[in-house]
A and B are shown apart, each in its own frame.
With several copies, the nearest count.
Chain A
């Protein structure tokens, strides 16, 4: 299990290769990378990510552990940045390695759903119109319900 919480950028490809090489005798690796998307209308100057030092690390570890308990996985990777990012920069990444492909897909999907709504990060978008906190999407909360008792 690897958790990285950091301000600097990361190299998703290098992390994916190291993760795959280190995951043991597995058949499938699924990765998700989140990228700062520009706005079509009001161009985004920056995306600022605030977090809760201490709680963030605990939340990321708990989320990764839950995935590892729920599916048969070779390894789990969670990377999340904070600070000021510009459009096109990579915000975060998760990866799940498993003997079987369904487990790798579901675990990565689960990690993303939990990161969205249960890890203490708050995004603020900076445009020419000033800063604006990103509002939580009710669909993200609904997405979590998929993982309870099925």
Chain B
């Protein structure tokens, strides 16, 4: 699965994107997996309330199913306009 990071999530993780092999069923489970892998992820994902997730370019819930998803993105609340 392609995983993308934007804004300060990207900065804390130090990468704009990476390919992750995972069997995590939801974004929430994937976050737990990554947090335990490296302190950079722990820093980026410290506060879920300050985080948003998109699955295949649509905003989604942290408990949405990851099955079949090709592209996942984590980012802070948007500040367009």
A52 and B79: CB pair below 8 A? no
Q: How far is the CA of A105 from the CA of B64 in the complex (A)?
A: 36
**CA distance in complex: A133, B57 (Å):** 22
Residue A7 at the chain B interface, CB threshold 8 Å: no
A-B contact count (CB 8 A): 69
CB pair B73 A133 closer than 8 Å: no
- Provide the main secondary structure of the chain A interface: mixed
Q: Are A121 and B57 in contact (CB under 8 A)?
A: no
Q: How many residues of A contact B (CB 8 A)?
A: 27
Interface check A120, CB cutoff 8 A? yes
A30–chain B nearest beta-carbon distance, Å? 13
Whether B73 lies near A122 (C-beta < 8 A) is no
Flag whether A67 is at the interface (Cβ < 8 A): no
A-B contact pairs, 16 of them (CB 8 A): A52-B4, A52-B6, A54-B57, A58-B58, A116-B80, A116-B81, A119-B78, A119-B80, A120-B73, A121-B78, A121-B79, A122-B7, A122-B75, A133-B76, A135-B79, A140-B81
Q: Is the CB of B76 within 8 A of A136?
A: yes
The chain B residue with its CB closest to the CB of A117 is: B78
The answer to whether the Cβ of B59 comes within 8 Å of any Cβ in the partner chain is yes
Interface residues of B (CB under 8 A from A): 4, 6-8, 54, 57-59, 73, 75-81
Chain A hits for B4, CB < 8 A: 52
Closest B residue to A57 by CB, please name it: B57
Whether the pair A52, B75 counts as a contact (CB closer than 8 A) is yes
Q: A50-B7, A122-B6 are in contact. List 7 more A-B contacts (CB 8 A).
A: A52-B54, A80-B80, A116-B80, A121-B78, A122-B75, A135-B79, A136-B77
Within the complex, which residue of A117, A118, A124 is in contact with B7, where a contact is CB–CB below 8 Å? A124
Does A55 count as interface, using CB distance less than 8 angstroms? yes
- Check A22 for interface membership: any CB of B closer than 8 A: no
Q: For residue A120, which residue of chain B has the nearest CB? A: B78
Please report which residues of chain A, range 120-138, place their CB below 8 angstroms from some CB of chain B when the two chains form the complex: 120-124, 133-136
